[in-house]
Structure 1
Amino acid sequence: MLSLDQLVASDHRVRLVWDYCQSLDLSPFYEPIKSLQGTRGRNPIDPRILFALWFYATLEGITSARRIAELTTRDFCYLWICGGVTVNYHTLSDFRTKHTEELEQLLSDSITVLLNEKLITLETIGQDGMRVRASAGSSSFRSEPTLQRMQEEAEKYLKELNEQSEQENQAEVSAAEQAARQRAAEERLERIKAAQDNLEELERRRREKKSRKSKSTPRASTTDPEAVRMKMGDGGFRPAFNVQFATDGQTRIVVGVDVNNQGSDMGQMLPVYESVCSTYGVVPGQYIVDGGFIKAADIDALDAAGTTVYGAVQGAEKAVADGKTPYQAKPTDSDAMGRFRERMGTEEAQAIYQQRPSIAEFPNAECRNRGLNQFSVRGQRKALGQTLWHVLVNNFNRFQHLGFLPHLMGEHSAPPASS
């Protein structure tokens, strides 16, 4: 007979994960369950256990709450984390989606500690985006007339449920089943209305793109109203979200993350850049992006703030093939945009830009390798929450590789690695 502690090797990484989770300030996770004057507290599972379960599962590439709940009944590592506490998948699922703000704070806190310890400078930032499949089917997209008809039908059905007498409910279905039907009908109606609101936003975007004369009718999903059909890496179009990562060039640690439903990276550079600057109070000296991010207004804004942008000049390869010079300022360019074109024509700028794949695409590959290929939650905010779990795990691996964990865990006995 062995105890749980004896069943897990002394050098198993689950122990390091638990020690790291123990060192984190998880006080915001405890606020909703505290006992306050005039109200009774709750007796839930310790949030640190739930946090460690999701953290370790994400590290192993597991993104399903049901799968984690199953592992807590038979896998020694998950049993060791639980310490005899029983966990169900509903509790795990709710925990993952309800703490997006707290996860953002954990990310910023860890980077701030490294900045204060002068282990990271944020002098060079690389940004890249990746499309992640949404939890919605392609067949769930509907046009405005269809959505209007579906809303009328949903409202009619909900009204019929409300009008049913208590006697009829007891004769036909139980109170619990009736409540479940009521809840399902209300949620369906909410999704249809949200899809209509998103349809208006899609129509507004289409009107703003004057260069495109699309004749297709905008459609919105009744499953995940905020999801949008996007062109994926394989060339196909599927419901997805656009995930943006801002990565430190020296350490490959993710310092900023955003999730939106824009089908293009154009215009995504400035919001992420401003978020990084405001969160950490640091203005990067260099900002590296690919050609899809280049927008004149964004170039002007970063240049005015004192940041030099390095990126691909759109149409440069074709211009060179035609015998033209793509790195000369155009008459219509602003001063910042003209300097950007001329700068990217130098060997020094091209050498800096060649670092982009190893910086900006590094977290993309790491997150995909750990299961961030399709969201298992619905909604843009919840998708950000799921992405943050992957970002925190990615950074944990970088902290371990670079020797930063002692500094983050309050143990300064071991010096950081030099690379």
Structure 2
Amino acid sequence: MPKFKPLREDQHFLLPPTLDEFVPAGHLARVVSGIVDEMDTSDIESKYSRLGQNTYHPKIMLKLLFYGYAIGVRSGRKIASACETDTAFMYLAQMYGPDFRTINDFRKNHSAEIGACFTQVVRVCESMGMVKVGTICIDGSKLKASASAKRTKDEEGYRAWLARVEAEIEKILSEAEETDRAEDEEYGEKRGDELPRELGEKERLREKIKEAMRGLKEGGKVNSTDPDACFMRERHGVIRPAYNCQLAVAEGQVIVAAEVTTCAVDSGELAPVLERAEENLDQEVETVIADAGYGSYDNYQYLDEKGKEAYIPDRDFERARRRSPQEEGDRYHKDNFRYRRRENLYICPEGKALPFYKRRVSDEGKVARKQLIYRGVECSGCPKRKLCTKQKARTIVRELREELKEDMRERLLSEEGKRIYRKRMHTVEPPFGHLKHNLGYKTFLLRTVEKVRAEFKLMCIGYNLTKIWRCMPAEGTA
């Protein structure tokens, strides 16, 4: 009896396999295909002309991109190669073979429409009962831009670079003229008019530098490769050209809003991300959870006016919570002075009053802030004055909107607040972890904020489609 099954490399089939046989039942590619088939792609289709050669249907291109981003294959070349070697991609491409330029051009030319596709996928998740709309968590993470830090310069740096490039062009032209004279003497009237290849490269570089200089703002810097990318500090302290990616995630870990900004600070992104989430869901959100990066008076006021229940600590919340009032150095910290709203005064740790003293407008920072000043009236004879202040009397500065922060801290310190805030790490952090660590999406392929925004939406579409696939019943169990 033979040890092995026979080799069948020359096996012929009576009938060729159908596309349906390319992937097994319950495969992710089937879910992607089924959802895209039901999508409204009229906005994309309307951009095509009836003139010229027939092109690939937009639904085929979307299927390839969505599936590729869902499994970590996003390069146009890799997707094109997979259409020839991977049965799942063959199934989605319907045995067509778009080349990498076609795939890349489609992704680049339809960035706005990809955002609409993201909204449609969110609605599918909602219709399947995967989204609990009441609560959303918001978070941000930095993803590296497709740009080198060395190509980010200010005006002075670009002028010096331009001078070097122009000197090199002058040198190449001078050498070319010298060569022409020598060839004229040797060849007479024969042709020899081809420009040196290095000259064309240097001239293209010169134009790119000039374009970057035109995009410079006064006192700013710009990257010649991706002019929209900004220097941002990432989690491990590395500073490099990047984009700030924002997610709003509903309970159930479904991404309901995805935005990209060139601002490194998260606090200014809460309102637009929340509004986009409600727009995508076509419903109002009741509760918003976010980390201390979003803690600001502006955000607290915005959420209060919108009637949202929020759980967002300020930047000093953890430090204040852990501070021990028993230690002499911390005993006289502002957080240990109790404010009495009815009497509009502070009580110090020694039981003395600090009544209202005056109003002022602080011009520190980028935005003027209205503040209230409270000043002690019994400090001169206090034996603890040197531990409390170096001035004649202790003063407390209170922001005009301080009550919003105090109410937020009180809410977070309640048992119910602690329980709700714990949801954040189990809701919004897993999507970023999956995208960055499981799929390796730590750097964008595309450049400029509009295209980067579309690529981030593709990442999130792929993530949500995978969530849909995992929520669907296995074949034969429905």
The structure-2 alpha-carbon separation of the partners of 1:94 and 1:112, relative to structure 1 and needing over 3 Å to count, comes to same
Structure with higher helix content: 1
Taking structure 1 as reference, are residues 326 and 304 closer, same or farther at Cα in structure 2, changes over 3 Å only? farther
Map of 2:253 onto structure 1: 252
Aligned to 2:323: 321
Equivalent in the alignment of 1:214: none
Change (3 A) 1:56 1:281: closer
Alignment of 1:22 with 2:37, yes or no, is yes
| Higher Cα radius of gyration | 2
Return the letter of the residue paired with 1:47. Answer: P
1:127, CA displacement in angstroms? Answer: 0.5
Task: Give the structure 1 partner of residue 394 of structure 2.
Answer: none
Contact kept in structure 2, 1:127 and 1:247, CA below 8 Å: yes
Residues 252/346 of structure 1: CA separation in 2 closer, same or farther (3 Å cut): same
Give the equivalent residue in structure 2 for 1:375: 444
Corresponding residue to 1:240 among 239, 242, 267: 242
Higher strand share: 2
Q: What is the TM-score of this pair, normalised by structure 2?
A: 0.69
> 1:83/1:170 Cα in 2 relative to 1: closer, same or farther (>3 Å)?
farther
Letter of the structure 2 residue corresponding to residue 23 of structure 1: E
CA separation in 1, counterparts of 2:267 and 2:160?
A: 35
1: distance between equivalents of 2:454 and 2:287? 28
Give the aligned partner of residue 332 of structure 1: 399
Change (3 A) 1:382 1:230: same
In structure 2, the partner of 1:8 is 22
Q: Could you list the per-position Cα deviations for residues 39-97 of structure 1 after superposition, in whole angstroms to 9, with x for gaps in the alignment?
A: x2552122222111111211221121111112222222222332332211111111112
Structure 1 residue 382, shift from structure 2 partner: 0.8
CA–CA separation in structure 2 for the residues paired with 1:347 and 1:147: 56
- Contact between 1:259 and 1:380, CA under 8 Å: does it hold in 2? yes
Specify the SS of the correspondent of 2:248. Answer: strand
Alignment of 1:109 with 2:110, yes or no, is no
Q: Distance in 1 between matches of 2:337 and 2:49?
A: 61
Greater shift, 77-86 or 280-289, is seen at 77-86
In structure 1, which of residues 80, 98, 115 is the aligned counterpart of residue 109 of structure 2?
98
Is it true that 1:354 corresponds to 2:422 in the alignment?
yes
What is the CA RMSD across the aligned residues, in angstroms?
3.6
Gap runs ≥5 in structure 1: 162-167, 204-217, 406-413
State the alpha-carbon separation in 2 of the partners of residues 117 and 91 from structure 1. 34
CA distance in 2, matches of 1:404, 1:25: 25
Counterparts of residues 50-129 of structure 1 (less than 5 Å):
50-112=61-123, 120-129=131-140
Partner in structure 1 of residue 223 of structure 2: 221
Residues 374-406 of structure 1 deviation map (CA, whole Å, 9 limit, x = unaligned): 00111111111111111111111222333499x
- Give the Cα separation in 1 of the matches to 2:277 and 2:54: 38
> How far has the Cα of 1:188 moved from its partner?
6.6
Number of aligned residue pairs? 376
Measure, in 1, the Cα distance between the counterparts of 2:22 and 2:101: 27
Cα distance in 2 for residues equivalent to 1:327 and 1:85: 72
Structure 1 residue 240 displacement after superposition: 0.8
Q: CA deviation at 1:191?
A: 6.6
Quickly say closer, same or farther: Cα 1:51–1:169, change in 2 above 3 A.
farther
Q: Percent identity?
A: 22
Partner residue of 1:286? 287
Deviations 1:88-123 (A, max 9, x none): 111111111222221211222333455577764521
Partner Cα distance (2:297, 2:117) in 1 = 34
Q: Is the CA contact 1:191–1:225 (under 8 Å) kept in the aligned structure 2?
A: no
Report the equivalent of 1:140. Answer: 151
1:385 maps to which of 451, 454, 460: 454
The answer to whether the 8 Å contact 2:143/2:443 transfers is yes
